[in-house]
Amino acid sequence: MSTDDSPDDEPLFDPRITGYNWIAGILGGVAAFLGSYLAMIAVVLVPDGPAEDSTWGTVLAEIGRVTYNAHQVTLNLRPARDEVIIESAPTSINWSDIGPNDPITVNSTLLKPNQTVVWNADIQRPLAFERIYIFDFGPYQEPIQYAEAKPELLYYLVPVVALLLAGAVLAWVTLSTEQAIGEAVLPGVAMTIGYVSTGVVGTFLVGTELADGALRLAPSLGGTTVLLLAYALALTTVGAGAVGAYRNRAELRRTID
């Protein structure tokens, strides 16, 4: 009596998943993030261009931070060194009475040697004193809300449009005309992997230092991961689904009828 020890013929994963071109999808996600960044460069710089006293490295990093903020990512301000302290302004000081040359007395017994105190003061310009820096953090952490040259909506639309178009293009290229509308999730997932990965790497490239190196301003890594994932997965799937619906419009009509 013979025994059939052959494994089950059914594949472990759905062939539609294993047969999809995941490499193209992931690279498409990388291209979508870079395309969003390049589009933001045009939005920020056209028509006036960069400021005369700025360098291209500084400008490109700042536009990168704006790109993250356009995904609703709040930029994170944190001490760059262990001896740096970020402390809210004491209520005992009337900040409206402080001029650029007025002294501020700090109880040195509360500080360790060479410490830098950064106070978060609600003022429109930074007042710099020796090893003491006072900022209104709002324009640094939410740059789009403080942008005056162009409408806020224009900045927020850049990643939305880029992801919708990228999802549609990828679906048109990688999905066949016979595939169902529901399979649009495949390019959406693939692009999300590349988009989020590129965005996470970018957080280490667009940061900058403030207060003579006391502070580091950069996109939050956790916020970047969560928000880019939500943006990319939702919008690329919608874009890909629109292509699927267009290709299967005859089938959709029969279903509705």
Nearest to 65 by CA among 239, 206, 232: 206
Angstrom distance (rounded) from CA 237 to CA 184: 6
What was the pLDDT predicted at 29? 97
Residue 36 lies in a domain: yes
Selection from 197, 84, 86, 83 nearest residue 140 by Cα = 86
Q: Which two tokens stand for residue 202?
A: 């970018």
Q: What angle do CA 44, 47, 48 make, to 5 degrees?
A: 80
Distance CA 210, CA 77 (A): 9
Higher-confidence residue of 205 and 11: namely: 205
Whether the per-residue pLDDT at 133 is higher than 60: the answer is yes
The answer to whether residue 91 sits within a structural domain is: no
153 within domain boundaries: yes
Query: pLDDT by residue (tens digit) across 204-233?
Result: 999 999 888 888 999 999 999 999 999 999
Domain presence at residue 178: yes
Residue 135 within any structural domain of the chain: no
- CB-based contact 175:240 (threshold 8 Å): yes
**Rounded CA separation 100/34 (Å):** 42
Structure tokens at 23: 């490499």
Query: For residue 243, is it within any domain?
Result: yes
Task: Name the pTM for this structure.
Answer: 0.81
Per residue in 18-35, pLDDT tens? 678 999 999 999 999 999
Burial of 118 (0-12, 13-18, 19+ CB in 10 A): buried
Q: How confident is the model at residue 67 (pLDDT cuts 50, 70, 90)?
A: very high
Helices (H), 112-256: 138-141, 152-174, 185-202, 221-247, 249-256
Domain boundaries, position 227: 15-76+141-256
Better-predicted residue by pLDDT, 34 or 256? 34
Number of domains in the chain: 1
Q: Give the number of other CB atoms < 10 A from CB of residue 29.
A: 30
Per-residue pLDDT tens for 153-165?
999 999 999 999 9
CA–CA gap between residue 189 and residue 233 (Å, rounded)? 6
Q: Which amino acid is at 3?
A: T
Tell me, yes or no, whether 136 lies in a domain: no
* Domain assignment of residue 116, yes or no: no
